[in-house]
Chain A
Amino acid sequence: MSESVKLKLSKKDLETDQDVRWCPGCGDYAILATVQRTLANLQVKRENTVFVSGIGCSSRFPYYMNTFGFHTIHGRAPAVASGLKITRPELDVWVITGDGDGLSIGGNHMVHALRRNMDLKIILFNNQIYGLTKGQYSPTSALGTRAASTPSGSVDHPLNPISLALGAGATFVARAADTDAKSLGAILEKAYQHRGAVFIEILQNCPVFNDGVWEGVKDDPAGKQILLADGKPLVFAGGTKGIKLGAGLVPEIVDVVDGDTSQLVVHSELGSPVYAHLLAQLVQPDYPMPMGVLYRHDKPTYEQLAHQQVVDATTKLGKGDLNKLMYSGMVWEVGADGTRH
C-alpha cells in the first residue's frame, strides 16, 4: 500500500502569480496577507473555497487568492454568491466588498443576503471613500467630508455598517482593523466555523484618498478600542475604564476603581440583539469602538432550508418523474382515426 503524503497548505499556496495592483501602503495588503495566513492555518481545501467580489479596490481581492474566484459587477457580489451557495452548499463562499460596493450600489443585496442567513462570509472593507473612482465620499463618510464630489463637505449622514448588518439579521457580526493581524485572524477563524450570514467590518485605510481616516481608533488601541472578549467586562484604557449602562440604556464611560468591574457590562457574543445593537452604537468620537465578535447567533441557513424542502418534497411525492409531469393536467388521447377518445 502506498503511503499518501498529506501536503500541508501554506500561505504561499494561496498566493497567485498575478501582480497585486493596489497602491503602495494600501490597507488591503495587510488584509490579504491575514486572510491567506488564516486559511492556511485552517488548512482549507483551495478547490472548495470561492471568493466573490463586486467592483472597487477591495473587489480585486479574488485575483490574488489562489482559490476559485469571481470578480462580478458593482454591488452584486452577495447576489452572485447567494446563487452559488444555494446550488453548491458544500463550498466555502467568501464575499469581499467595500463601503461603496456593499452599502451603496449593493445595499439591497447586502440586506437580503444577511436577512436570509445565507451561509456567506461577507467581509466589508470600510475606508469611508470611493477609491477606484478617485475619491468621492461614500455612505460611511462622516458628515462634512470634503471629497472630489463634495468640495464644500458632504451633507448626508453616514450609516453604521454594524447596525445595518444587525438590523438586517446577520448571525455573525464582527469588526477588526486592517493591520491588526492577530484580531482579524481570530475573527476569520471563528467566522469560518460559523454557519450562516457573516458580516465583518474591517476598518481599512486608503492612503491616497482618505489617509488616516481611522487613525483615531487605530493609533490608540488602548484608549479608543474595546477588545471584546466573551464573558469579560467592557473595559479599555488598560483596564482603567469601562462601560456601564445608565437609565434608558445610555452607555456611560466610568473609571474602574480597584479593579472592581462589577457594575460594567459583561460581553457575550451570544448576547441579545438589544445588547448587540447597543454595542454597534459605541462609535467615535463619543465612545471607544468595540473590536472583535459583537454578535453571534445560530439559526438555519437559507440553503439548508431550501434543500430541506427539496428533500421533503421528494419524500412526499417521490423522485420526480418527468413523464408523469408531462401527463399532468388535462390529458387526452387522439386515436388512429384522428379523433379524441
Chain B
Amino acid sequence: MEPKHLDRVVIRFAGDSGDGMQLTGTEFAKAAAEAGNDISTFPDFPAEIRAPAGSLFGVSGFQLQFSSSEIYTPGDAPDVFVAMNPAALKTNLKDLVDNGTLIINTGAFIESNLKKAAYKVSPLEDGSLAKYKVHAVDITALTAAALEGSDLSNKEKGRTKNFFALGLVFWMYGRELAGEIKRINATFAKNPQFAEANIKVMKAGYHYGETAEVFQTQYYVPPAHFAPGMYRNITGNEALALGLVVGAELAGKNLFYAGYPITPASSILHSLAKYKHFGTLTFQAEDEIAAIGAALGAAYGGAVAVTASSGPGIALKGEAIGLGVMTELPLVIVNVQRGGPSTGLPTKTEQSDLFQAIYGRNGESPIPVIACKSPGDSFYCAVEALKIATKYMVPVMLLSDGYIANGSEPWPLPNLNAMPRFDVVHRTDPTGYFVYDRDPKTLARAWVIPGTPGMEHRIGGIEKDALTGNISYAPENHEKQTHVRAEKIARVAQDIGEMDLSGADRGDVLVIGWGGTYGALRQAQNALAAQGKKVSHAHLRWLSPLEPGLAKIIRNFKTVLVAELNSGQLRTILRAEFLIDCLGLNKIQGMPFKVREVSDAIEALLAGAPLPATDKPTTTTTANA
C-alpha cells in the first residue's frame, strides 16, 4: 500500500493534564522535525498542575502543524484529533475539520468520565460523530495488555498510554521509531524499567496501526525545503535565554539574570541557571520587585542585567523601571505576556500588556519596547534589546507571549561569528566628567561603575541636574530632563532597520500587527496577495519608538487594519500618532489568531462589507465611525 502524500497536517492531542499530552505533542514534533518537515507547535494547557481527572477544565492539549512547505502557524483547525477522554472530546471537537480523523480512547469513556464531561449519552453511541472518520481504540486496555507481566504498578502502567497514542500516530504518518526509542532511553536513563515500558507501549500502538484494518491509509508528508544550513528545534523561551547569553557575550560582559517564578516566564530562569559555565549568574529573588532591584544593582555595577516576568510581575516592577529610567542604567525587562487583568489566564496568550509596556509607569517615563514575532525571533530580539539598552543607557522592555514562549519551530542556527559585537566601554577618565554629560548622538550618559578611582559619584531617583547629576528641583531643569529622556528613546530609531513589510507599499488594505500574531497575519496576507489582491502586511518589531518605516507607507492604503490579541491598544496608538482611521481586528480569548479569521476580515474589507466576527462567541471587530 502506497502512503498517500499530503502537503501539511494539523494534529491535536488532548487529554487529562496528567495524561502526558504535552510530552506526546513535543515528541511527535521532534519526530516531524527529524523527518525534515517544517513544524509549528501550540501547547495549550490549564493553569492547574493536576486538575481533577476527567474534568472539563483539566483538559490539556497540544497542537502542531507539520508540513512539506513553509508554515507560519500551528494551523487553524486540526485534521487529526486524538481524544484521550470524554472531557477532551467535549472541549476540542468543535475545532476538528469536517471529515477529520478522530482517534478516541474508548477505554476512558466510562460512566463517571462521561458524567464529568457532561455527556448524557456517550457520543460514541448517539451518532453525533458521524461527520468524522472515527477510530475508536481502547488505548487503556491495549496499553495494559502490552505491559502484561510487567512489574510496574497499574498506575505506572496507565501513565504510559500516551506512548500508545504516539506510536499509533507515528504509524499513520510513516515515522521511524528509532529516533524516539533513543530519546526515551535517554530521558529515562535512570529508570530503565520506565524506558522499556514506554517503548513497549509505543511499539504496541505502532503495530496496532499496522495491523488493525480500521487504519487503511498511511500518510506521508514529505520533507520541507529549507535554506541550507544547520537547524535545531527551539521554543521561544529557550531561544530568548540563548539570546541573552549571546547578547552578553557580544557586549563583552557576563550576564546577570534575576527573576521570580511566574508562568509563562519561569523557564527562562531554568535555562539560564544551567549556563553557569558561561559566567552567567542567576538570582531567584524573594519577589518581583527584588528581582528588578537586584538587576538594577547589577547594572549599576557594570553587568549586563536582565529580569523577566509576566504582566502581574511587570506591574510590580513598575517603580523600579522608573528608577532605571531616571538613573539611566541599562537593563532588559522581559514580559512574557499572558491573559489579564490580575491573575487572568496564566497559561493562555494575549497581547494586552502593550500599554503597560509603553506607558505603565508614574511620571513621563518612556522606554524602548521591542516584541518578538516567533520562537526563533526571540533570540534576535534578546540580543537587540541588550544592544539598545547598553548603547542608549536605558531600560528596554522585550515583549514575548505565552504562545511564543511555549511554541516551537525549526530554527536556522545563527552564525555567531558573523554577529556584530557591541562591546561595552566604561569611562575611566575623570577629567571633565559629569554624571549626566551625554553622547551627542545617542544622548547616553557614560556608564561609570564603582571601583573606578576618581569617578566617585551619586545617582538616584530624585530629579538630577542635566549636567552634574546633583539633586535639582529647578523647574526648567526638570522640563529639560523630561524632554531629553523622551528624545533619547526617539533616537533609538537610528538603530532600527528596515520595517518588515510584505507586499507593495501602497494598495487597498494594510494589515499591521506586532508580536506573536506575525505568522497568522503573514500567511493570510501571502495567500491573498497570491490571488492578486492588493493587501500588504507591516510587522512592527519596535513599538517604542514606532518603526520609522511605518510613517512612509501608512497613508498609502485605502484601509488600515490593526490586528491584535487585545481590544485595540496598538490601534489607539497609531490613531493618535498618525491621525488616520484604523480598523481593528481583535481577539481576546487567550488564543492566537487563526489564519482564516484574518483572511476573512481582509476579504470583507476588500468587498466593502462589514468586518466579520472572528471565532465565536466574544471576539469583536471594531470600526470607528
Indicate if B298 sits at the interface (CB-CB under 8 A). Answer: yes
Distance A326 CA – B278 CA, assembled complex (angstroms): 13
Pick from A16, A69, A306, A313: contact of B277, CB under 8 Å: A313
Asked if A67 is an interface residue, CB under 8 A from chain B, the answer is yes
Bound complex: CA A66 to CA B470 (Å): 13
CB-defined contacts of A67 to chain B, threshold 8 Å? 456
**Distance between Cα atoms of A73 and B451 in the complex (Å):** 23
CB of B384 within 8 Å of the partner chain: no
Query: What separation, in Å, do the CA atoms of A132 and B615 have in the docked complex?
Result: 55
Which has the most chain A C-beta neighbours within 10 Å: B223, B238, B283?
A: B283
CB distance from B283 to the nearest CB of A (A): 6
Expressed in whole angstroms, the minimum distance between the Cβ of A144 and any Cβ of chain B is: 32
A330-B34, A339-B223 known; A68 vs B457 contact (CB < 8 Å): yes
> Quick one: which of B290, B319, B456 contacts A108, CB cutoff 8 A?
B290
A314 within 8 A of B: yes
A18 within 8 A of B: yes
The answer to whether residues A322 and B249 also contact, given A18-B470, A79-B285, A84-B450 and a CB cut-off of 8 A, is yes
Contact A47 B453 (CB under 8 A): yes
B39 CB, min distance to chain A CBs, angstroms: 11
Cβ of B426 < 8 Å from any Cβ of A?
A: no
Instruction: State the Cβ distance, A121 to closest chain B Cβ, in Å.
Output: 15
- Within 8 Å by CB of A69, from B226, B297, B459, lies B459
Interface-lining segment among B51-59, B200-208, B228-236: B228-236
Contact A87 B256 (CB under 8 A): yes
CB proximity of B529 to chain A, nearest CB, Å: 23
B242 touches A338 (CB 8 A): no
Question: Could you tell me if B320 and A76 are in contact, using CB atoms closer than 8 angstroms?
Answer: yes
Which residues of the other chain, B, contact A318 by a CB distance below 8 angstroms?
277
Q: Are A83 and B283 in contact (CB under 8 A)?
A: yes
- Given A306-B281, A317-B277, do A83 and B305 touch, yes or no (CB 8 Å)? yes
Say if the beta carbon of A274 comes within 8 Å of chain B: no
Query: Are A47 and B230 within 8 A (Cβ)?
Result: no
Q: How many Å from the CB of A98 to the closest CB on chain B?
A: 16
Contacting residues of chain A (67-123) with chain B, CB-CB under 8 angstroms: 67-73, 76, 79-88, 90-91, 108-109, 111-112
For A52, what are the chain B residues with a Cβ–Cβ distance below 8 Å? 297
B residues 212-246 near A (Cβ < 8 Å) are 223, 225-234, 238, 242, 245-246
B283 cross-chain contacts in A, Cβ below 8 A: 82-83, 86, 306
Indicate the member of A52, A55, A313, A334 with the most B CB atoms within 10 Å: A334
Q: A-B pairs with CB below 8 Å: how many?
A: 223
Contact of A310 among B277, B449, B454 (CB under 8 A): B277
Q: Which residues of A contact B107 (CB under 8 A)?
A: none
**Cβ-defined contact, B413 with A326, below 8 A:** yes
Q: Is the CB of B416 within 8 A of A322?
A: yes
Q: Any chain A CB within 8 A of the CB of B167?
A: no
Cα A66 to Cα B430 with chains together (Å)? 14
Cβ contact within 8 Å between A81 and B297: yes
Closest to B462 in A: A71
Q: Is A125 an interface residue (CB 8 A)?
A: no
The complex places the Cα of A82 from the Cα of B292 at a distance, in Å, of: 11
Least Cβ–Cβ distance between A114 and chain B, in angstroms? 11
Whether B416 and A109, one on each chain, are in contact in the complex, defined by CB atoms closer than 8 angstroms, is: no
When distances are taken between beta carbons in the complex, the residues of chain A under 8 Å from B30 are 330
Q: A18-B471, A46-B456, A339-B36 are in contact. Are A87 and B293 (CB under 8 A)?
A: no
Q: Taking the complex as formed, is A263 at the interface, i.e. its CB lies under 8 A from any CB of chain B?
A: no
Please determine whether B232 and A331 come into contact, CB atoms closer than 8 angstroms: yes
| Residues of A close to B294: CB separation below 8 A | 79-80, 82-83, 86
Q: Are A109 and B323 in contact (CB under 8 A)?
A: no
Nearest CB of A to B470, in Å: 6
A112 to B280, CA, bound (A): 22
CB distance from B345 to the nearest CB of A (A): 27
User: Is B277's CB under 8 angstroms from A68's CB?
Assistant: no
Q: Known contacts A329-B232, A330-B33; is A47 also within 8 Å of B462 by CB?
A: no
Question: Do the beta carbons of A320 and B455 come within 8 Å of each other?
Answer: no
Query: Are A70 and B33 neighbours in the complex by a CB distance under 8 Å?
Result: no
Q: In the complex, which residues of chain B have a beta carbon less than 8 angstroms from the beta carbon of A160? A: none
List residues 447-492 of chain B with CB under 8 A from any CB of chain A. Answer: 449-462, 470-471
User: Knowing A109-B286, A306-B281 touch, does A91 contact B301 (C-beta < 8 A)?
Assistant: yes
Selected from A50, A322, A329, the residue in CB contact (under 8 A) with B278 is A322
Residues of A contacting B280 with CB < 8 Å?
A: 310
- How far, in whole Å, are A81 and B290 apart by their CA atoms in the complex? 10
A27-74 contacts to B (CB < 8 Å): 45-48, 50, 52, 55, 62-63, 65-73
A214 to B185, CA, bound (A): 69
Alpha-carbon separation in the docked complex, A112 to B227 (Å): 51
A336 CB within 8 Å of chain B = yes
Contact: A47 with B451, CB < 8 Å? yes
A306 to B257, CA, bound (A): 13
In the bound assembly, the distance between CA atoms of A178 and B101 in angstroms comes to 79
Asked, given contacts A310-B279, A338-B225, whether A332 binds B458 with beta carbons under 8 Å apart, the answer is no
Contact of A325 among B245, B461, B462 (CB under 8 A): B245
The distance in angstroms between the C-alpha atoms of A112 and B258, with both chains bound, is 14
User: Residue A8 at the B interface, CB < 8 A?
Assistant: no
- Per-residue A-contact encoding for B22-46, CB less than 8 Å = 1, 0 else: 0000000010011110000000000
Q: Are B460 and A334 in contact (CB under 8 A)?
A: no
Shortest beta-carbon distance from A208 to chain B in Å: 20
B274 to chain A: closest residue by CB: A313
A286 within 8 A of B: no
* Pairs of residues from A and B, 6 with the lowest C-beta to C-beta distance, nearest first: A71-B460, A79-B293, A83-B297, A83-B294, A320-B278, A340-B36
Sample of 5 further A-B pairs with CB below 8 A, known A69-B460, A86-B294 = A72-B293, A84-B297, A91-B301, A332-B36, A334-B227
Q: Taking beta carbons and an 8 Å cutoff, which residues of B are in contact with A?
A: 30, 33-36, 223, 225-234, 238, 242, 245-246, 249, 254, 256, 258, 275-281, 283, 285-287, 289-291, 293-303, 305, 319-320, 322-323, 327, 413-414, 416, 449-462, 470-471
A-B contacts, 6 of them at CB < 8 A, read A73-B293, A86-B283, A307-B281, A326-B242, A326-B413, A332-B231
